[in-house]
Chain A
Amino acid sequence: MAGQCIVVTSAKGGVGKTTITGNVGFALAASGYRVLLIDGDIGLKNLDSVLGLERRVVYDLFDVVTGRVALGDALVRDKRLNDRLFLLAASQTHFKEDIPLEKFSEIVEEARESFDYVLVDSPAGIEHGFRMSTRYADKALVVTVPEVPSIRDADRVLGLLENFKVGIIGVVINRLNKTLVRQGNMLSPEDVVDLLQVPLAGVVYDDPIIVQAVNQGEPVVYKYPNTAVAKAYVNIAKKIENPDYEVAVAAEQKPRGFWNLLGFLRGDN
């Protein structure tokens, strides 16, 4: 059976598409699927560094498009997983417009043959790179942070995806700050779903562990698998596997132990 192509998109930059693509892709591969990650952000590649694969990239999307190498030879294999996770890197020396849409479509079609999931990390914006990344996808994950400009852009992107006839898995709410939500100073996941009128595909709390993992070039789901954030990424993977999976908003972790008490006294939470 041909694999599914899923685009991770947002229009607004800096909301966490790349980190989500890397971690969710890793989680899918860890649960047994063959997964290809394509960095669609031509000119500004980043997916390789989130996964810590930057030193192993030899060929990129542009080399495949021009026929310099075959698709299979351009992929970087993630050694942490046994032949299940691969990356097709973006080119840094070209522009998005250098990749013709139909060539990209051919690559996606070829990749579907040997992978269960092809995840495309879309660039910010709604221009050529966005069209390239979304047009051939079966389904989309729309990423937003719970702030006004990002939600507005997410709504715009949902409209464009509808025009392209791309199915919507749902919205991933990234960097939710539970203290702000409790104070009534940040939109809750329920509010965001209410505004955008699409299913909830995931909620990722703002957590310094994400920065620490990216610093080390390791996916959170691999390096810190027992954290709430890692579980949130795994739940997004479950939602991709099964659209009926109900994403629960993670229960707040109960303060316990000496360090939590210190944090409490300091005014955290």
Chain B
Amino acid sequence: MSWLDVLFGRGTKQNAKSRLEVMLIHDRGLFSEAALEEMEKEILTVVRKYAEIETGAAEIFVDKVDNARMMLSIRVPVRGQKSKR
């Protein structure tokens, strides 16, 4: 903690909270790295049917603990709609 943190009353609790958020997600064991990778592949297969995807730019991650316990976020940059054939 720097003197600025002390001055503005920011304590170490935020460290505890963000560390726990990550720990609990892993402990609950719903999404292993392998499972996330597998899920990303499958989701992208579906998205590719409808959109042009920038290759290698998609991201999928579990981050935020909220009322639904955690948030699964998927970011897929798309170039545009897939041309209908």
Which of A62-70, A186-194, A209-217, A246-254 faces chain B? Answer: A186-194
Nearest chain A residue, comparing its CB with the CB of B23: A152
User: Please, how many angstroms separate the alpha-carbon atoms of A191 and B16 in the complex?
Assistant: 10
Q: How many A-B residue pairs have CB under 8 A?
A: 45
A184 touches B67 (CB 8 A): no
B20 touches A184 (CB 8 A): no
Which of B4-12, B32-40, B46-54, B72-80 faces chain A? Answer: B4-12
Other-chain residue from B9, B10, B11, B20 in contact with A195 (beta carbon distance below 8 A): B20
Other-chain residue from A148, A151, A155, A185 in contact with B11 (beta carbon distance below 8 A): A185
User: Please, how many angstroms separate the alpha-carbon atoms of A78 and B13 in the complex?
Assistant: 42
Nearest chain A residue, comparing its CB with the CB of B29: A159
Given that A148-B19, A148-B20, A156-B27 are known contacts, is A187 also in contact with B13, CB under 8 Å in the complex?
yes
Given that A194-B65, A197-B69 are known contacts, is A152 also in contact with B13, CB under 8 Å in the complex?
no
Residues of chain B contacted by A148 (CB below 8 angstroms): 16, 19-20, 23
User: Does A183 sit within 8 A of B, measured CB to CB?
Assistant: yes
A151 touches B20 (CB 8 A): yes
A195 touches B27 (CB 8 A): no
Residues of chain A contacted by B21 (CB below 8 angstroms): 195
Residues of chain A contacted by B67 (CB below 8 angstroms): 197
By secondary structure, the B interface counts as: helix
B17 touches A195 (CB 8 A): yes
Residues of chain A contacted by B20 (CB below 8 angstroms): 148, 151-152, 195
Residues of chain B contacted by A187 (CB below 8 angstroms): 13, 16-17
B9 touches A184 (CB 8 A): yes
Residues of chain B contacted by A151 (CB below 8 angstroms): 20
User: Please, how many angstroms separate the alpha-carbon atoms of A183 and B11 in the complex?
Assistant: 6
Given that A184-B10, A197-B67 are known contacts, is A155 also in contact with B17, CB under 8 Å in the complex?
no
Nearest chain B residue, comparing its CB with the CB of A186: B13
B69 touches A155 (CB 8 A): no
Nearest chain A residue, comparing its CB with the CB of B12: A185
User: A: which residues have CB within 8 A of B?
Assistant: 147-148, 151-152, 155-156, 159, 180-181, 183-188, 191, 194-195, 197
4 further A-B contacts with Cβ under 8 Å, apart from A148-B16, A185-B11, are: A148-B20, A155-B27, A159-B28, A185-B12
Counting from the closest, the 10 A-B pairs by CB-CB distance are: A184-B11, A185-B11, A183-B11, A185-B12, A155-B24, A184-B13, A148-B16, A195-B20, A187-B13, A187-B16
- 29 A-B pairs whose Cβ atoms sit less than 8 Å apart in the complex: A147-B16, A148-B16, A148-B19, A152-B23, A152-B27, A155-B24, A155-B27, A155-B28, A156-B27, A159-B28, A180-B11, A183-B9, A183-B11, A184-B9, A184-B10, A184-B11, A184-B12, A184-B13, A184-B14, A185-B12, A186-B11, A187-B13, A188-B13, A191-B13, A191-B17, A195-B20, A195-B65, A197-B65, A197-B69
